[in-house]
Amino acid sequence: MSKTLFTVLLVWSTSFSLFAASGIKGKVIDASSQAPVEYAHVILYSGDKVVAEVMTDLEGGFQMTPLTVGEYTLMVRMLGYDLFTQSVLVENERVKDAGIMRLRQLEVGLGEVEVVANKKQVIYKLDKRVIEASSNMMASGGSAVDILENTPSIRVDAEGEVTFRGSSGFAVYVDGKPSIFSGTQALEQIPSAHIDNIEIITNPSARHDTEGAVGIINIITKKDMQQGVSGMVNLSGSTALTRTVDFLLTNQQKASRWFVGGSYSERLRESDFNQQKTTIVGDASTISHSDGPRKSNNFNYALKAGWQYALPQTTFDVDFEGGYGGRTRDGDLDYSEVRQVDGEATERGDYFSRDYYDIHETFFQGNVGMLHKFNDKGHQLSARFYAKYGGDALEYFQSDLFDKNNQRQQGHRAYEDEHRWTTRGNLDYIYPYSATGKLEAGYQYFSYLEDGDYSMEFWDPVKKEFYWSDEIYNTFYFMHGINSIYAIWGDSYKSFEFQAGLRGEHTHRVLRSSVEGSDRIYNKFELFPSVHLGYHFPNEHVLMASYSRRITRPQLFYMEPYITYRDYYSAEIGNPDIRAEYINSYELNYKKNIGQHSVSASVFHRSRKDKIERLRVPYVAGVTLDSMANVGSDYSTGVELSLQVQAARWWNINVNGSLYHYKVKNKLQNLGTDENSTNYEIALNNGFDAGKYTRIQVDGNFVGPSVTTQGRTDAFWYMNLAVRQQLFNRKVAATLSFRDVFNSARYVSNISTSNLESITKIRPQYPLIMLSISYTFNNFKARASQGHEGHDLFEGTNH
């Protein structure tokens, strides 16, 4: 290992001189606030010819190398700002500092710019794509899921679970730090009004965790960089009785800045649920039918606060958040079943099925960080420590069957009480060895610990009371720790830029359970490489390529070795021997700016070994059992397209689409088959300026079918409409949105195996209309702080 590290360092050191050349660098800031302007478009001209172009980084900086000696013209473009130009003379084979470039806001002001000049929905960078939060009016009053609604290859199933390129294996970060929640729950908990933009990192570099089959979704929250006190308040409500209130108050006083924020959120969803199911156990079969409404509530009540102090070269920050969040769901269904033996009916029954679950947690999390800049050329050292405690955590499931006289015939209650600790620490170092190149290295530690117990009580129809089941009671302990080191080399030469990294991770995992024979201990060290390449062609053509190796490690709910019940006819069990998934991901991106228009395309291929999937089999009469298994390998190959067109001054169009082929090679032939499908979806977003302070948005979405090893989900389509009106000198914005205008969205899922047939149909509540009101005071101006498609209509897909 030491010889390998020495060789790598030797190669790096001998490469320093290869990229020393003449060039131009500079920094772009807001002329009024003096805040850096990130993602500004900087174009370098030699006469009428475009020589180079870049986007500014998070600090507003940019650099173009190498260049030949001569006179150039710099142009800086950013929506909402006046055009900036400056002449620059490059000489003496060195990087010319063009200085600070101050962009002046257009006279209409920031609030009005949101109406008359749309920001680009998607910005492509070397290792990520950036989704502009304010560009989607349908997200008003919603969450991060709604902002992602028009993003290619992102979709949400009937339960609201987000998938990206067919996988739910993505990690969620907030301002570069892991979210206190995971997956879809993390996206649902963040109010859209607090989000500046969202970064989708499909092939993360070595500085990021390797968890997540399809990468990382990093949510950048709003911060106010104005001097003095300012803030915003947002309220929303819907016909589904969704209600949210959130606020953010900040105070910037020279080197010191503090903020206080909070949210009260109850996002309700209701759908009509219909399921027909046939299960075969031995020579007996059960045919059942469930029909009725199901309702869910994703709730979160939280307060947060933070403080930052900036010295000339060192910045310290600390923040804290505490709250209570989770999800409930209840169903009130008509349930009938017929039991047969050798084709002859032996028993019939008509019931009312009432099920309910409540998954919640009281959480407290905080983190402290430090950033020291040795100079203004990017030489820096940063450190951060994060801790989160989840107490009073409960997963509660209840299910009952009542006869037509409303007398309980069967029922059960399930309780999973838990305590959870998460800690994370990192130390990161960046050394720019030349005007264009830099080395990065760091150490990161992660630990997750959970312990608790699981218990159940069942209904005794004779005694007409619930009793505890001693044989089901179980205790569990789960600890998951990862120690990581990484190194990255990045540089550019003329129009070519690259980044290569290597990450090493040691995993230590412990599972203990009172279920006999289920204790497991796991230790392993693994390497994960990543590569990112970019080339800027003349006339604003950009080509980017990337590769990364990633992993999805088993979480506790994958491994729980005991049976739990989600409702009367659906049971689950984990697999303590489940193996990690290993993913190799390749991507090629193309981008072209054509005046105010742009087109981009991504071609990707992902192969996954030991794919983890939930399999469904008959358990007892009328009840199915979902278990976790490594079903085999799967492959996704496809293309994503994005077109942004300014059709007229008052009309802009965004078209996002994806087409990919998905193939599953199943090695569990008795529980499924090899499957393949062509998946496609398209989203059309139209924005119209109906007046100086009025904007209208019309969306159309078509989602193609998808497959698993056990079945398929049918295609569906829907349309959305939103109107935003700014009032009171643009301090107040009111948005009225109407989802699924034509009531066309339908979720249909089919599962078919040798001993199970299931058809599930879900229809969302109609109409779904939401009103959101946002108020900003003292000229609140947001800026980012760095440290699957939202078809969010259905309820009840975990059927």
- Residues 660-679: what's their mean pLDDT? 74
Residues with Cβ < 8 Å from 780, sequence gap 6 or more?
224, 226, 230, 231, 232, 250
pLDDT tens digits along 30-87: 776 677 887 788 888 887 777 877 878 777 888 887 677 888 888 887 755 667 888 8
Q: 799, 570 in Cβ contact below 8 A?
A: yes
Model confidence at 204: pLDDT above 90: no
Alpha-carbon span 172 to 143, nearest angstrom: 13
Q: Is the pLDDT of residue 433 over 70?
A: yes
Residue-level pLDDT at 596: 73
pLDDT for position 291: 93
Residue 504 DSSP label? E
Supply the pLDDT for residue 191.
75
Reported confidence tier of residue 167, pLDDT bands at 50, 70, 90: low
- Arithmetic mean of pLDDT, 108-117: 31
More confident position, 595 or 567? 595
| Peptide bond before residue 764 is cis, with ω within 30 degrees of 0 | no
Burial of 521-554, coded b for 16+ CB within 10 Å and e otherwise, reads eeeeeeebebbbbbebeeebebebbbbbbbbbbb
Q: Tell me the three state secondary structure of residue 264.
A: strand
The string of pLDDT tens digits covering residues 743-774 is 998 889 888 877 788 899 999 888 899 999 98
Whole-angstrom distance, CA of residue 742 vs CA of residue 739: 9
The reported pLDDT for the residue numbered 221 is 80
111, HSE (Cβ side, Cα atoms, 13 Å): 22
Evaluate whether 28 touches 36 at the Cβ level (below 8 Å): yes
Distance of alpha carbon 219 from alpha carbon 208, whole angstroms: 14
**Has residue 222 got a pLDDT over 60?**
yes
With beta carbons less than 8 A apart as the criterion, state whether 184 and 145 touch. Answer: yes
Most confident of 185-194, 672-681, 683-692: 683-692
Q: What's the pLDDT score for residue 122? A: 57
Average pLDDT, the chain: 82
Q: Is the pLDDT of residue 788 over 70?
A: no
Q: List the one residue out of 508, 547, 499 whose CA is nearest residue 526.
A: 508
Residue type, 332: D
Question: Which residues is 370 bridged to in the sheet?
Answer: 316, 383
More confident residue, 119 or 289: 289
**Quick check: 644 pLDDT over 70?**
yes
Which pLDDT score is estimated for 706?
A: 78
pLDDT for the residue 14: 40
Q: How far apart are CA 447 and CA 528, in angstroms?
A: 19
β-sheet bridge partners, residue 95: 23
Q: What is the pLDDT of residue 671?
A: 54
Helix (H) or strand (E) holding 8, with range, is: helix 2-15
Q: What is the pLDDT of residues 364-375, one digit of tens each?
A: 999 999 999 998
Distance CA 147, CA 142 (A): 8
pLDDT tier, 245 (very low <50, low <70, confident <90, very high otherwise) = very high
Distance CA 114, CA 732 (A): 13
* pTM, 2 dp: 0.74
DSSP assignment letter at 435: S
- The span from the first CA to the last CA of the chain, in angstroms, equals 50
Mean pLDDT score, 293-303: 92
Do 784 and 297 contact (CB within 8 A), yes or no?
no
Residue 528 has pLDDT above 90, yes or no: yes
Tell me: pLDDT of 108 over 60: no
3-state helix, strand, coil in the chain (%, to 5): 5, 65, 25
Q: Give the pLDDT confidence score for residue 238 in this predicted structure.
A: 92
Q: What are the C-alpha distances in Å from 150 to residues 147, 559, 652? A: 8, 34, 15
- % the chain with pLDDT above 70: 83
What pLDDT, in 10s, does the model give residues 456-513?
999 999 999 999 988 889 899 999 999 999 999 998 887 888 899 999 999 999 999 9
Evaluate if residue 429 carries a pLDDT over 90: yes
Output the pLDDT for position 783.
41
- What's the confidence (pLDDT) of residue 168? 67
Q: How confident is the model at residue 24 (pLDDT cuts 50, 70, 90)?
A: confident
Residues 578 and 629: beta-carbon distance below 8 Å: yes
CB 472 within 8 A of CB 459: no
Which one has a higher pLDDT value, 239 or 10?
239
pLDDT attached to residue 6: 42
- Reply yes or no on whether the pLDDT at 115 is more than 50: no
Q: Which residues contact 695 (CB under 8 A, 6 or more apart)?
A: 114, 115, 137, 687, 688, 689, 723, 724
More confident residue, 542 or 112: 542
* Separation of alpha carbons 403 and 729, rounded Å: 61
Tell me what pLDDT residue 243 has.
Answer: 93
pLDDT of residue 13 exceeding 50: no
Judge whether residue 791 has pLDDT over 50.
Answer: no
Q: Are residues 149 and 789 in contact, defined by beta-carbon separation less than 8 angstroms?
A: yes
Cis link prior to 538 (omega < 30° from 0)? no
Under DSSP, is residue 508 helix (H, G, I), strand (E, B) or coil? strand
Edge to edge, the sheet with strand 23-30 lists 61-64, 23-30, 95-103
Could you tell me the two tokens for 519? 């204790």
Among 681, 760, 749, smallest CA distance to 165 is for 681
Q: Highest mean pLDDT range out of 53-67, 382-396, 535-549?
A: 382-396
pLDDT digits (tens, 9 = 90+) for 575-631: 999 999 999 999 998 888 777 788 888 899 999 999 888 887 777 766 778 888 888
Instruction: Please say if the pLDDT value at position 209 is more than 70.
Output: yes
Least confident span in 12-16, 425-429, 784-788 = 784-788
Asked whether 609 and 603 are in contact (CB, 8 A), the reply is no
Give the span between the Cα atoms of 176 and 723, in whole angstroms: 33
Omega of the bond prior to 705 within 30 degrees of 0, cis?
A: no
CA distances from 49 to 84, 330, 494, 536 (A): 17, 64, 16, 14
Here the tokens at position 777 are 């005071």
Task: Give the chain's length.
Answer: 799
Kindly give, in sequence order, each residue whose CB lies less than 8 Å from that of residue 266, ignoring residues fewer than 6 positions away: 241, 242, 243, 244, 297, 298, 299
Instruction: Name the token pair of 704.
Output: 């193609």
**Rounded CA gap, 500 and 533, in Å?**
9
pLDDT value at position 519? 93
Measuring CA to CA, which residue among 531, 535, 543 is closest to residue 495? 535
